[in-house]
Structure 1
Amino acid sequence: MLGFIIRRLASSILLALAVAFASFALVFSNGQAIARTILGVDATDEQVAARAAELGLDRPVVAQFLDWLGAAFRGDLGTSFYSGDDVANIMTTRIPVTLALIGIAMLLTAVLSALLGIAAAVAGGWVDKVLQVLAMVGTAVPNFIVAIILVMSLAVGTGTFPATGYVSPAIDIAGWASSLVLPVIAVTAASVGPASQQFRAAVKDVLERDFVRTLRSRGMRPASIVFQHVFRNAAGPGIIILGLQIIVLMSGVVVIERVFALPGVGELTVNSALLGDIPIVMGCVLFVVVVVVIVNLVADLANAALNPKVRQR
């Protein structure tokens, strides 16, 4: 198990570095264009060149990346091109909002997809068909449409939840929870469908195995068979798809934070990209990469704990 953990950890670090470098190369490949965006279209070529040299954008991309990476390991993500504020400080105020949204959405996705997948596989018949249709609809409908429907029905229509805005838990824990209800539902709606279908397929496959028939012949209760034996054997594929769903959740967060005016990393990424504030964009990219890699690493380790065969890969 220790060897498996080391291999997965090493591959996760290499993947994070590769994605970070690819992102850095894409946004910093044209230092002149970045400098002109900062100075405006009326700036002369000499002013643009001077600004690019001042920011170090005229250096090779690899050298820039190595300097940025070394500083990032020390907690220094640079300063904003526009405000001059420290990027790490800006991210510190945004990350808790996004982590709360993603964390709750991931937990709900795991619980709901497992329960719906088990229900569809065990019950079969019309229950299975209805759940499959609901999963397909949830996957097909964009999360911003779900967000608009939620706002119109539960915020504007009834006033049950706030339509926009965010309340810090340090100020009002009830207000914090209320401000996250609709965004969490909108983000979760897109990820439950695919994950529940994966759980359904895995559970149906296990239910057809010989050991399940043996347990039934011994008179074991159906609920005990499903939750103590079938689900444990079927959990591996479900855990893998849950790890992959973090990518869906992260992409959904970018839109949902804009719709609900949440001051998170997704909203910061969009605003910074529109301005061309590259240091902040790279800070947001680094955050997303780290979250995705950590979640998938945890998923791999959980799968290995359930299935010893995985550890031999």
Structure 2
Amino acid sequence: MTFIIVRRLLLSIPLLFIASIITFVLQAFVPGDPARTLLGLNATTAQYEALRESLHLNEPILVQYWLYLSSALRGDFGSSIFTGEAVLDTIGQRLPVTLSLIVAATFVATVIGVLFGVFSATRGRVVRRIVDVSSLIGNALPNFWVALMLVAILAIGMGILPATGYTSFADSPSGWATSLILPVAALSLGGIALVAKVTRDGMLTTLELDYIRTLRASGVSRGSLIWKHALRSSGIAVVTVIGLTLISFVSGSILIENVFALPGLGTLIVSATNKHDVPVVQGLAITFTLIVIFTNLIVDVVYGLLNPKVRIR
């Protein structure tokens, strides 16, 4: 197990480097000039050039990246060009919002998806057809469209839940949960459908294996066959799709946060990109990459727990 963790961590080093340089280069091609945005249209040419020099915007792109990388390796990710606040502080303030959304959506997609998948695998063809249709619909509907429909129906039309805004857990646990219901529902819909279908397909294959028939003939209870043996044997495929679902929620959260006006990393990256705030965009790219790396690490560890053979590879 230790080897799996160490290998994943070592592989993450070049991944972080590649993600940072790609983000930095692509950001250079985004239209806009932070110096011009800061000074406005009435600034003189001398003021404009002086600000660009102080921000190192007049340097070649590789020089700019080297200056950023050398600071980042010392733990200094810079400050926002517009607010002057340290990038790590800005991200730290907003990270709990995004993590709450992603983790809650993953939990909902996992629990409901696995239950639907097991139910459809053990209840006949009609239920399987329903899961297939639900899976197609869930994957076909864009999550931002689902979010807008939920707002229109449940928030504006019925007034049951708040349309926008976020309440921190420290301020009010109930308010925190209420503010996340609609965003989590919109984000997790496609994940529920996908997890349900993969669980169903894996269960159907496993239930036809010889050792399951042997256990059934030996008098093992139906519940034990389904939940202890069949679901565990299907666990590798289910865990894989859950990991992929969580990673997809990282990008999906950007749209959802902007629809529901949540003060998370999604709204921050849109604002920073529009302003050409390079230090903030770079910090967010590293943060999202770390979330993906951590997710893959958890998946690898769960693989080892489900299949001992993985631990010795």
TM over 0.5: yes
82 and 201 in structure 1: CA distance in 2 versus 1, 3 angstrom threshold: same
- My pick for the range that moved more, 55-64 or 23-32, is 23-32
Q: 2:101: which partner in 1?
A: 101
* Structure 1 residues 218-259: Cα deviation after superposition (integer angstroms, max 9, x where no partner): 121111101111111111111111111123211221111111
* Secondary structure in 1 matching 2:234: helix
Q: 1:173: which partner in 2?
A: 173
- My pick for the range that moved more, 261-270 or 62-71, is 62-71
- My pick for the range that moved more, 20-29 or 157-166, is 20-29
Deviation at 1:74, TM superposition (A): 5.0
Deviation at 1:46, TM superposition (A): 6.2
Deviation at 1:83, TM superposition (A): 2.3
* Secondary structure in 2 matching 1:90: helix
User: Residues 118-197 of structure 1: matches in 2 within 5 Å?
Assistant: 118-197=118-197
Q: 1:245: which partner in 2?
A: 245
Contact 2:32 2:275 in 1 (8 A): no
Give distance in 2, aligned partners of 1:13 and 1:197: 34
Give the TM-score normalised by structure 2: 0.90
Report which structure shows greater RCO (CA 8 Å, sep ≥6).
2
| Residue 68 (1) aligns with residue 68 (2) | yes
194 and 30 in structure 1: CA distance in 2 versus 1, 3 angstrom threshold: closer
* Structure 1 residues 1-20: Cα deviation after superposition (integer angstroms, max 9, x where no partner): 32222112211232222212
* Secondary structure in 1 matching 2:235: helix
Give distance in 1, aligned partners of 2:44 and 2:295: 47
Deviation at 1:305, TM superposition (A): 1.9
User: Residues 207-286 of structure 1: matches in 2 within 5 Å?
Assistant: 207-286=207-286
* Structure 1 residues 197-234: Cα deviation after superposition (integer angstroms, max 9, x where no partner): 22222222211111001011112111110111111111
Gaps of 5+ in 2: none
Counting matched residue pairs gives 313
Give distance in 2, aligned partners of 1:276 and 1:223: 56
Deviation at 1:69, TM superposition (A): 3.8
* Structure 1 residues 58-86: Cα deviation after superposition (integer angstroms, max 9, x where no partner): 44545544543453455532122222222
Contact 1:38 1:276 in 2 (8 A): no
Give distance in 1, aligned partners of 2:62 and 2:308: 41
* Counterpart amino acid of residue 296 in structure 1: N
Contact 1:138 1:190 in 2 (8 A): yes
Give distance in 2, aligned partners of 1:124 and 1:38: 64
Give distance in 2, aligned partners of 1:212 and 1:32: 62
Contact 1:39 1:48 in 2 (8 A): yes
* Counterpart amino acid of residue 186 in structure 1: A
Give distance in 2, aligned partners of 1:120 and 1:74: 53
Contact 2:131 2:197 in 1 (8 A): no
Deviation at 1:47, TM superposition (A): 5.5
Contact 1:31 1:58 in 2 (8 A): no
Deviation at 1:191, TM superposition (A): 1.6
* Structure 1 residues 35-76: Cα deviation after superposition (integer angstroms, max 9, x where no partner): 455556777776655433321234454554454345345553
* Structure 1 residues 123-158: Cα deviation after superposition (integer angstroms, max 9, x where no partner): 231001001111111111011111122112221222
Contact 1:28 1:57 in 2 (8 A): no
Give distance in 2, aligned partners of 1:193 and 1:296: 21
* Structure 1 residues 164-205: Cα deviation after superposition (integer angstroms, max 9, x where no partner): 111122222211111111111111112222222222222222
Give distance in 2, aligned partners of 1:66 and 1:310: 39
* Counterpart amino acid of residue 289 in structure 1: T
* Secondary structure in 2 matching 1:201: helix
Give distance in 2, aligned partners of 1:75 and 1:92: 14
57 and 232 in structure 1: CA distance in 2 versus 1, 3 angstrom threshold: same
* Counterpart amino acid of residue 301 in structure 2: L
Give distance in 2, aligned partners of 1:236 and 1:213: 21
* Secondary structure in 2 matching 1:171: coil
* Secondary structure in 1 matching 2:4: helix
Q: Percent identity?
A: 38
Give distance in 2, aligned partners of 1:111 and 1:32: 44
Gaps of 5+ in 1: none
Report the RMSD for the aligned CA atoms in angstroms: 2.4
Give distance in 2, aligned partners of 1:176 and 1:97: 10
Give distance in 2, aligned partners of 1:259 and 1:4: 39
- My pick for the range that moved more, 260-269 or 152-161, is 152-161
* Counterpart amino acid of residue 24 in structure 1: F
Give the TM-score normalised by structure 1: 0.90
Give distance in 1, aligned partners of 2:30 and 2:134: 46
